[in-house]
Amino acid sequence: MTQLKCASRTLDLGRVQVMGILNVTPDSFSDGGHLYRASKLSVEQALVHAAAMLSEGASMIDVGGESTRPGAAPVSVQEELDRVIPVIERINAELDVVISVDTSAPEVIREAAAAGAGLINDVRALAREGALEAVAQTDLPVCLMHMQGASPATMQLAPSYQDILAEVKDFLQQQVERCAVAGIARERLVLDPGFGFGKTLEHNLTLLRRMDELNALGLPLLVGTSRKSMIGQALGREVDNRLAGSLATAALAVERGGRIIRVHDVAATVDVVRMTEAVLNGCEQE
């Protein structure tokens, strides 16, 4: 079965793994404003949240310091470093969990690896100058995500596809080849269709319905639909009422071959994942 080597820890992708989302952007705490610095308090809050998700069954924690919200203001590299590095160091020192870092910046990739990160998660699929080389110089795995449009700031302006599955698949295949050329071993790659990144509701629904077609790429799939607007739009729910909708997409993603499920609500998702796996595989393997 596929093992993913994440720095000092190894993940068994023979079972579906749940990745808990840990936001360290200022809007996720009460600091507000643009002069945010990782205070002792915010690092402590992040550690408590990470520990809670670990106890609920997450095996990975995704630390993100850059808001990827459509239309969000760009964050300086220094600000991103100030937000995420102290949190990665603290979690690495205190908890037995794989730390993923949601970043596109080569400086953050390098410093996060040195601070104990176990996986690089880049919504821009290493498109930023120097990012591919930065990952190649570590031995960490990397998640390559599909996005239509150059950045989260513009991606939702007019999403358009002839055949979304074919286009997402071609894009991801091209990124796999680009990584091979840069010397990033295939065993280090995780792929992600990028729900909500340059996609309408109908695109997102089709992408999930036909996600099994991406298994032909032969690499583990990471899926992030948790609380996203596709659920809000389909159900008419605000962001704080999207748990049931998120769980439905998690079950469907597991059925279609998703190997890592990225979520806010870890405990409920772990139950859905275990139950879905029990139905798919039987209960022999515990």
Select from 192, 198, 203, 265 the one that contacts ligand 7PM (CB under 6 A): 192
119 part of the interface to ligand 7PM, by CB under 6 A: no
At position 113, the amino acid (one-letter code) is A
Residue 249: how many CB atoms within 10 A of its CB?
Answer: 26
Minimum distance from residue 282 beta carbon to ligand 7PM (Å):
30
Select from 2, 3, 48, 69 the one that contacts ligand 7PM (CB under 6 A): 69
- Residues annotated as catalytic (active site), given as ranges: 228, 262
For residue 2, with 0-12 CB atoms within 10 Å meaning exposed, 13-18 middle and 19 or more buried, which class applies?
exposed
Select from 195, 220, 261, 263 the one that contacts ligand 7PM (CB under 6 A): 195
66 part of the interface to ligand 7PM, by CB under 6 A: no
22 part of the interface to ligand 7PM, by CB under 6 A: no
Stretch that binds ligand 7PM, among 4-12, 65-73, 103-111, 205-213 (CB under 6 A): 65-73
Could you tell me which residues are beta bridge partners of residue 62? 21, 100
Q: From CA 148, how far away is CA 156, in angstroms rounded?
A: 8
Total residues contacting ligand 7PM (rule CB under 6 A)? 16
249 part of the interface to ligand 7PM, by CB under 6 A: no
102 part of the interface to ligand 7PM, by CB under 6 A: yes
> Closer to ligand 7PM at the Cβ: 135 or 282?
135
Contacts for 178 with CB less than 8 Å, ≥ 6 apart? 126, 132
What DSSP letter does each residue of 125-157 carry, written as one string? TT-STTHHHHHHTS---EEEE--SSSSTTTTTS
Which residue bears the tokens 């071609």?
170
